[in-house]
């Protein structure tokens, strides 16, 4: 498959961007990007560190030297940049740190994930369990999902970060960073001339995964949609976007419209399903009839992010308020509120 080969891109200023394909987790592919400008050699994301990911990163750098005649050894790298604190993008950091002393940078809102990794796991476990129970996931299934969630997150240990994008003024010579919270709190995209490294903010085929902000501040659909609007003007300056997964995006502006349409449709689908009361879990099973356990976690989070958006705007309401005890984890049942056609752009047809 062509997408699984190392590929080279050049922007109008002559900077080169190499996409290094990585097998991140079983069945999941992604990329690290190496950006070479006049004065910088930047590694943008480092893969998961899991399975063959590190070796593939190493082999990619080697191939860039041999096949494309660059001088891209570990000792030449000037900066390690992490697009956002999801493990498929930063998990390889310890491997990379042993090979280069180049400073590591990330957005301030994601820094703590890397520097206080163990602390964060402790904090998130009870919150995640309560979230699943409130969403209506049965208790035995909840324990299974929590165990899997923690297992997945056990693959890393804290590491020091050297700088934040803010500290650089959101700029590093020719690279311009834009903070686009939503998919992740500290998600950034980077513009390198007329090429945009869109990380997991804009992907070619999938609408990037969404979790509710109730689990993690500065995530959720509200922020995500606002961040798509924020990036839209940038697409006028770029002719190509390269995401953290999937193929190159030839028309980023059209892709943004398509992603908004996916969310609009999903919100409407949920409203239709909520003609009769249901929990987030029940609706998630309708929307994503998944059997694979990890995907069930993603399905509940994705559905919950949309519920949160609808709830905060008064499109849905709780039906079992009397059952919900203060501080308890009672499954919450929601139903659609019969209100006038909304004025919310995400729920309206068309883009006006």
Q: Name the residues that contact Zn ion, by CB under 5 A.
A: 86, 88, 200, 244
Minimum gap (Å) between residue 283 Cβ and Zn ion: 23
Q: Which is nearer to Zn ion, 86 or 332 (CB)?
A: 86
* Phi and psi, residue 197, nearest 5°: -85, 105
Minimum gap (Å) between residue 267 Cβ and Zn ion: 22
Q: Which is nearer to Zn ion, 32 or 274 (CB)?
A: 32
Residue nearest to Zn ion (CB): 86
Q: Which is nearer to Zn ion, 105 or 244 (CB)?
A: 244
Q: Which is nearer to Zn ion, 53 or 279 (CB)?
A: 53
Minimum gap (Å) between residue 83 Cβ and Zn ion: 8
Minimum gap (Å) between residue 208 Cβ and Zn ion: 7
Q: Which is nearer to Zn ion, 45 or 308 (CB)?
A: 45
Gap between the Cα atoms of 123 and 153, Å rounded: 13
Minimum gap (Å) between residue 272 Cβ and Zn ion: 29
Best CA proximity match to 200, nearest among 24, 17, 6 = 24
Minimum gap (Å) between residue 4 Cβ and Zn ion: 16
E strand or H helix at 24: strand 16-25
Please report where in the chains the tokens 């705007």 appear, as a residue.
313
The DSSP code for 48 is -
Q: Which is nearer to Zn ion, 200 or 222 (CB)?
A: 200
Task: Please return the burial class of 275, using the count of CB atoms within 10 Å of its CB with bins 0-12, 13-18 and 19+.
Answer: exposed
Neighbours of 211 (CB within 10 A): 23
Interstrand relation of 41-44 and 28-36 (parallel, antiparallel or unpaired): antiparallel
DSSP secondary structure, 274-287, as one string: TTS-B-HHHHHHHH
Helices 139-153 and 117-134 cross at an angle (nearest 10°) of 160
């Amino acid at each position: 498959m062509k997408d699984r080969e190392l590929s080279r891109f050049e922007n109008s200023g002559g900077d080169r961007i190499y996409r290094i394909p990585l097998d991140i987790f079983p069945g999941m592919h992604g990329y690290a990007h190496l950006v070479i400008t006049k004065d910088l050699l930047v590694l943008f994301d480092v893969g998961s560190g899991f399975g063959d990911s590190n070796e593939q990163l190493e082999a990619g750098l080697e191939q860039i030297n041999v096949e494309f005649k660059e001088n891209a050894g570990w000792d030449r790298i000037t900066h390690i940049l992490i697009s956002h604190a999801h493990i498929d993008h930063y998990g390889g950091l310890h491997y990379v740190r042993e090979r280069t002393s180049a400073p590591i940078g990330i957005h301030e809102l994601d820094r703590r994930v890397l520097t206080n990794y163990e602390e964060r796991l402790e904090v998130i476990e009870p919150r995640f369990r309560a979230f699943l129970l409130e969403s209506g996931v049965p208790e035995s299934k909840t324990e299974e999902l929590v165990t899997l969630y923690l297992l997945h997150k056990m693959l890393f240990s804290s590491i020091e970060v050297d700088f934040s994008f803010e500290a650089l003024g959101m700029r590093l010579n020719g690279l311009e960073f834009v903070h686009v919270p939503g998919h992740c709190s500290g998600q950034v995209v980077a513009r390198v001339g007329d090429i945009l490294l869109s990380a997991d903010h804009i992907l070619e085929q999938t609408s990037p995964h969404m979790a509710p902000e109730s689990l993690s501040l500065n995530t959720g659909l509200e922020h995500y949609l606002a961040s798509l609007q924020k990036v839209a003007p940038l697409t006028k300056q770029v002719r190509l976007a390269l995401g953290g997964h999937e193929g190159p995006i030839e028309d980023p502006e059209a892709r943004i419209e398509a992603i908004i349409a996916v969310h609009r449709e999903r919100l409407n689908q949920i409203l239709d399903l909520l003609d009769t009361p249901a929990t987030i879990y029940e609706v998630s099973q309708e929307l994503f009839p998944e059997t694979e356990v990890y995907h069930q976690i993603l399905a509940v989070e994705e559905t919950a992010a949309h519920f949160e958006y609808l709830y905060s705007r008064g499109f849905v309401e709780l039906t079992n308020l009397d059952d919900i005890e203060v501080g308890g984890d009672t499954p919450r049942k929601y139903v659609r509120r019969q209100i006038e056609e909304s004025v919310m752009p995400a729920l309206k047809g068309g883009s006006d």
